[in-house]
Amino acid sequence: MAKQFLQGNKALAETAIRSGCRIFFGYPITPSSEIPEYYAAQPKERKVTFIQAETEVSAFNMVAGAVAAGRRAMTATSGPGFSLGQEAMSYMTAAGLPAVIVDVMRPGPADGEILASQGDYFQVTKGGGHGDYNVIVLAPYSVQEACDLTRKAFELAEKHGNPVVVLSDSTIAKMCESVELPEEISYKVPTFSGALTGCKDKRHVITTCGDGAAQWEKFNLNLQERFAKIREEEQKWDAVQVEDADVVMVSFGSVARVALETVEIAREHGLKVGLLRPITLWPFPEKAFAGLDGKKFFVVELNAGQMVQDVKLSVKNKDDVSYYGRFGGFTPTPLELYEEICKRYGKGASK
């Protein structure tokens, strides 16, 4: 198929539609707004349902309703909106609803700024809402990968009966790149056997309301089983020149693109640097760190060091892990990172 030059948000939206997701509920928020705009602008023949919700609270719960009916449905937002959606994330996970949510991150806390950030790592990968739960989190580092992972998000959601977040950021969302869009497909309706399709053959009930401690503990243990299976089966990462590296950079999303260039610069200067790029942030790809004992890990994030905690939990010696980050919308340059590596691990650096 021919390649197209597309903006990240638009390519993502087109991929979702081509993945059969014809129902979209959303509240506009920079830097995600091109996604609802793209849905709103679809011609009638494409049979797209688009509703601009009054709040993200409602948008997430509308998604819950449409997904409960056995259809593919989606919303897109940014950090402040995702915060509002958290109760629905907790709810949809407990209810086993295979929803897909796009979070295009911007710098917080609070209203914050609108350039690239990775400050939502905690609130997206750690459950974030009430109770013990996790959602699958996919972090693209290019427009192409934003498309590929959006397609994958629906498949994973339905495979495990669990919401999936595509975690983008302003850079991935706003930049244009050459992409090959996935083919248009249809999907099996309903998307899961418990969907509310009517009680003719079998009755369906979706409730997250417990009925005593014994019942609710069992419910929670079943949830934990689901999460353990996801942890076992879905860890995904990319490793670039890690095997012989002395220093392994660990980065995800847009800043991993910068790190990739830093690896090249460092190698040109004789430093053995590699890149380990988590693609699933939950489950965190702890398997990627097997056999890397003794290496130094240099974690670069657009936040105050949120993923660095997961890296420390995944390596043998947490003293081997250091962190560098920028906030507020700044993205470091490849040279900036190279200089940091020289300072910390280069000749003359204090060991």
All residues at 6 or more sequence positions from 294 whose CB lies less than 8 Å from its CB, including other chains: 320
C-beta of 82: minimal distance to other proteins in Å? Answer: 16
The residue from 28, 65, 329, 334 that contacts other proteins (CB under 8 A) is 65
Q: Residue 193 burial by CB count (10 A; 0-12/13-18/19+): exposed, middle or buried? A: exposed
Residue 320: CA atoms inside 13 Å, Cβ hemisphere, count? 19
Q: Torsion-angle region of residue 137: left (phi > 0), alpha (psi -120 to 50) or beta?
A: beta
DSSP code, position 319:
G
**Is residue 326 near other proteins by the rule CB under 8 A?**
no
**Position 209 contacts other proteins (CB under 8 A):** yes
Task: Name the token pair of 213.
Answer: 């401690």
Of the pair 197, 220, the CB lying nearest other proteins is at 197
Among 40, 48, 69, 114, binds other proteins (CB under 8 A): 69
Judged by CB under 8 A, which of 11, 21, 32, 71 binds other proteins? 71
Q: Name the 3-class secondary structure at 6.
A: strand
Q: Is 57 in the site for other proteins (CB under 8 A)?
A: yes
Choose one: 31-39, 70-78, 120-128, 341-349; the region binding other proteins (CB under 8 A).
Answer: 70-78
Q: Which of 66, 137, 147, 249 binds other proteins (CB under 8 A)?
A: 66
Measured from the CB atom, the residue of 208 and 241 that comes closer to other proteins is 208
Which tokens is 23 given? 């129902």
Residue (200 or 347) nearer to other proteins, CB = 200
Task: Concatenate the DSSP letters of all residues of 277-316 into one string.
Answer: EESEEES--GGGGTT-TT-EEEEEESSSSSHHHHHHHHSS
**In the structure encoding, which two tokens stand for residue 188, read together?**
């099996």
* Closest to 168 measured CA to CA, from 191, 195, 123, 137: 137
Among residues 6 and 157, whose Cβ is nearest to other proteins? 157
Structural element, H or E, at residue 276? strand 273-278
Instruction: Count the residues of the shown chain that bind other proteins, applying the rule CB under 8 A.
Output: 39
Between 1 and 214, CB nearer to other proteins: 214
User: Which of the ranges 39-47, 191-199, 227-235, 343-351 carries the binding residues for other proteins, by CB under 8 A?
Assistant: 191-199
> Whole-angstrom Cα distance, residue 83 to residue 13?
22
By CB under 8 A, residue 200 contacts other proteins = yes
Specify the residue, 4 or 52, whose C-beta has the smaller distance to other proteins: 52
Is there binding between residue 186 and other proteins (CB under 8 A)?
Answer: no
State the residues that interact with other proteins by CB under 8 A.
23, 25, 49, 51, 53-55, 57-59, 61-71, 73, 87-88, 91, 95, 196-200, 203-209, 211
